[in-house]
Structure 1
């Protein structure tokens, strides 16, 4: 029995050495890649910086971190911009492209079908921000209010529009929707140009932690009312979450229930040998350096699990990376089990491709004029 156990451990150690040997910079060919993330003061850009430092660099990959408006822009750049090999994308944005492709939209199909997932990351909280003097208390009270839904091309715009449609059975009226950046939305809110600012960001979000305390004191978050029928309808796509007072200890006095959306790390279905090899090394390094991400990276890394769950129709993992990650995840789990430890864990009219007016959904996904 002892010999069998030792032999199994030796085999696992050999597998781990094989998987991780290529993460050494000396063993890796030079590769200069880009990852598209999100706004300068958002969570995505910090996650991209963590991946560049703790994953790409040990794998011999120079990963440039690019800011962006958000998820829809990231999908477009991932698909069409040279050098962009990785992107961070919200699950509802990815699903919106899949749905439009399945409904017959050729541009959406051309954009999304070659894209592949590396792995799910963490849940991003959806913030519904109002002024302190607002009579609104809960999210289901935002109907017919003037709302900043985020920049066109951002994941926030997709989430805000989808949530509103789910809750109230209609799109946000054009005269009530403003497409502002997060910073501009909060400024417009404070000076009473809008009633609600919707922002998607993983907590703690620098947008709020870096904000002047005097300005913070003028705003607050709306809560989910679990008993409202609008909340029941929102659950079709989004999941309950909590904005923790501990994320903003000098501001929030209590936890705030809200909605959440999943973030994914996305790539393309590459088949060139060098690119495949580089992304395999990236995967090996992601697994080998996961503890560093959790210890030194953004607090959201502590919510990431080393697993590849089943996917919905139209979603696929990138197979070369999927195989490496599954092997490495299994090795880590076996080593931890052997050691007796737990796993760490309004809008101008645009034209669609065939000359017809663009739909609101096509506009948000940057599919107009293709």
Structure 2
């Protein structure tokens, strides 16, 4: 009788553990950017090629951009990942270090997973405008992007670096990318600053006739304004191949770096899921580069040194560095991921006590 009871109890316990093992995927959110921007496509790629194989149902959320993403990453339930521009992240750190308590509350618990790619700064004017370079936008009416967007932070930082002053309040408009281009065409603003990774659907989906009414300004590498801007931003090129219906030749511009960001989580389940996400990111990185947005081809699977005040998320950093070490040693990512699965090191007793996932 005792043997039957023990057998029955063990069977029931194993059924319970089995039900936990086959439980629903974790439901997380990632905040990205506008519907026709690059960030939202990057989020969709992460959801499909990384989160799904890791057993995570990752909902991709549109947003105004980086500054809003920092706030939502910090305070909105379910948001576990965010895409944030480097200048926005640094602006929060600078404000926190200057004594702004709200900035400190928002940014200090956030952690980086990895750098992604460079986003191009598009300074757009009407095709018939006499302006030629970035230095010509001084004292013009400018759409800098929506409040809470990374574009707004970049536009205001760029202007201040170039000209040593803020954009005059009467010259600033906070419009979405689409509304900014419309306002530009009908002469309600002189300049629309749009930060987006090329090739951007915003421009490639635009009516060809309207597209020919606008053009991007060039960066003059010899201008003192450019020298000052390069304290924070880096030279790059808008490629004609990215916008065949718009550009006849490459256009020199500036970039800002995008980062994948999370929170300094300590709960076991969340840490475990984000570790699985890191393993999957390593294992499926080739899929991202092959099937995802073209910007993935610019991303390197690496964790470079960070500037002061920036920190990687420790658990994920360990998994990614282990993966990178395995890759450099010639071990396949798939084998490395399999070797790191927690279940392989769990004893039956640990499973019965629900100490393993």
Same fold (TM over 0.5): yes
Q: How far does residue 27 in structure 1 lie from its aligned partner after superposition?
A: 7.3
Distance 2:128 2:245 in 1: 20
**1:334 Cα deviation from its structure 2 partner:** 2.6
Taking the TM superposition and a 5 Å limit, the aligned residue runs for 1:62-73 are 62-73=57-68
Partner of 1:160: 155
Mapped to 2, the partners of 1:262 and 1:278 lie a distance apart of 26
Deviations 1:259-299 (A, max 9, x none): 10000000000000000000000000000000000000000
CA apart distance, 1:30? 2.1
Question: Which residue matches 2:304?
Answer: 309
Distance in 2 (alpha carbons) for counterparts of 1:47 and 1:335: 28
Matched, 1:124 2:119: yes
CA spacing shift, 1:330–1:27, aligned 2, 3 Å = farther
**Residue segments in structure 2 that go unaligned for 5+ positions in a row:** 1-20, 333-357
Change (3 A) 1:95 1:27: farther
Q: Counterpart of 2:320 in 1: which secondary structure? A: helix
- Judged with a 3 Å threshold, the aligned counterparts in structure 2 of structure 1 residues 28 and 246 are, in CA distance, closer, same or farther, namely farther
CA distance in structure 2 between the partners assigned to 1:283 and 1:29 by the alignment:
19
SS of alignment partner, residue 193 of structure 1: coil
Task: Say which of 21, 26, 33 aligns to 1:31.
Answer: 26
Which residue in 2 is equivalent to 1:216? 211
Please name the residue that 1:348 is paired with: none
**Equivalent residue, structure 2, for 1:171:** 166
What are structure 1's unaligned runs of at least 5 residues? 1-25, 338-370
Match of 2:271 among 270, 276, 290: 276
Q: How does 1:1-370 map to 2 (within 5 A)?
A: 30-335=25-330
Question: Alpha-carbon deviation of 1:249?
Answer: 1.4
RMSD: 1.2
1:201-222 deviations in Å (ceiling 9; x for gaps): 0000000010000000100000
| Contact persistence 1:87–1:266 (CA under 8 A) | yes
Larger Rg: 2
Match of 1:365 in 2: none
Q: CA deviation at 1:250?
A: 2.2
Cα distance in 1 for partners of 2:282, 2:104 equals 31
Q: Deviations over 1:327-355 (max 9, x none)?
A: 11121233289xxxxxxxxxxxxxxxxxx
Is the CA contact 1:132–1:218 (under 8 Å) kept in the aligned structure 2? yes
Q: Report how far residue 28 of structure 1 moved.
A: 7.9
CA distance in 1, matches of 2:294, 2:319: 25
Q: CA 1:321 to 1:29, structure 2 compared with 1: closer, same or farther past 3 Å?
A: farther
Q: Is the 8 A contact 1:28 1:59 kept in 2?
A: no
CA distance in 2, matches of 1:256, 1:319: 40
Task: Give the secondary structure class of the aligned counterpart of 1:172.
Answer: coil
TM-score by length of 1: 0.83
Shift of 1:29: 6.0
Q: Output the CA distance in 2 between the equivalents of 1:77 and 1:185.
A: 25
